[in-house]
Structure 1
């Protein structure tokens, strides 16, 4: 398994004009050679709507680089990284390969996966593809989030090391599939809720499904 960083990016919220409507979003990020990760935020990075984005369970946003070729084939155009507003684009860590609760060392930070990403229409607006949000939900190729266990700096050439695989082995792909498409699967929901590392937001979502 070749885990390799392809892109690092940060950005502050900006104003956009989408379909003649003014929007304010932090999705537009710029590539950097490194960034400092603190407990609740990446230095130089932020979200626009703190009610639905960000927080200590969603400090670092990750998107698998492998998905880019798929999306470029679907939409027949080149996507500019980070098209999904992610902080880290890397290989070897798709939603099927990683589990909620897995702990990784990246640079001198220690991060833990907490939940998959629940996308919104911003990704469609930003990439000028009306069907993107719908297709991301259909495919569950969403990316995911980390909380910060130890602060530090992530560099473009930092190694990614799996420190601990969560014992429940609930993949991000599995949990996202249940949340989006199998909402009546009580047994699977209970398995997901048994993961102690699950983000509070997702815990509440699954409890509501029950």
Structure 2
């Protein structure tokens, strides 16, 4: 397990489908040490605070293992941070990490809260109209960390597992139920009951459970 790159970027205005759009998806790798608060990484920012950032989504994480797939799709080499992630990591793919898993990154302690939910801004960033759908179909979504202990980190910070979550809900499994196995009430309830799950995903799964029982 290791940090490949630390990436930050402030919201900027772009034109998408003829309309002005403000987005924080454009991130650039940095080599300096940055402070991580319970809300976000120093020097970083999000445009739509309704769906990005905040305590449950303080850090966006993306596995470098998926870059080869996207480079083949797009026919070009991609720089770390292309997917709007704060941390590009190695050895922490969605099929192996669980919601609630806790890690130390140097002096910072973080915990996985939910898969990353791709939006249309990714399509603009990659110049790929179905990028969000492809991310859902492949399961190459990445995920979010909440910050349990604030501190500073850099790309040279050591990354180590502190504790695996007992529920054993992998990010890949949560994605599978969210996007594909949508009527599996038992699975939905199991995920919703995961203590470390973000508030927004918990609310979404509980709402779906009520609809299935109606």
TM-score normalised to the size of structure 2? 0.94
Report what 1:62 is aligned to. 61
Deviation (angstroms), 1:202: 0.4
Report what 2:46 is aligned to. 47
Report what 1:29 is aligned to. 27
Deviations 1:147-175 (A, max 9, x none): 01000111111111000000011000100
Q: 124-133 vs 72-81, which deviates more?
A: 72-81
Deviation (angstroms), 1:79: 2.0
Report what 1:9 is aligned to. 7
State the alpha-carbon separation in 2 of the partners of residues 112 and 185 from structure 1: 26
Report what 1:186 is aligned to. 185
Q: Counterparts in 2 of 1:66-105, with a 5 A limit?
A: 66-105=65-104
Deviation (angstroms), 1:47: 0.6
Deviation (angstroms), 1:78: 1.9
Deviations 1:85-128 (A, max 9, x none): 00000100001110000000001100000000111010110111
Q: 195-204 vs 78-87, which deviates more?
A: 78-87
Deviation (angstroms), 1:137: 1.3
State the alpha-carbon separation in 2 of the partners of residues 8 and 87 from structure 1: 6
Report what 1:135 is aligned to. 134
Structure 2 unaligned segments of length 5 or more: list them: 210-214
Report what 1:148 is aligned to. 147
Q: Which runs of 4+ in 1 moved over 3 A?
A: none
Report what 2:161 is aligned to. 162
State the alpha-carbon separation in 1 of the partners of residues 204 and 51 from structure 2: 13
Q: Secondary structure at the match of 2:111?
A: strand
Deviation (angstroms), 1:51: 1.1
Aligned alpha-carbon RMSD (Å): 1.0
- Give the paired residue count: 208
Deviation (angstroms), 1:131: 2.2
Contact 2:111/2:148 (<8 A) preserved:
yes
State the alpha-carbon separation in 1 of the partners of residues 130 and 74 from structure 2: 9
TM-score normalised to the size of structure 1? 0.96
Q: Secondary structure at the match of 1:97?
A: coil
State the alpha-carbon separation in 1 of the partners of residues 109 and 190 from structure 2: 25
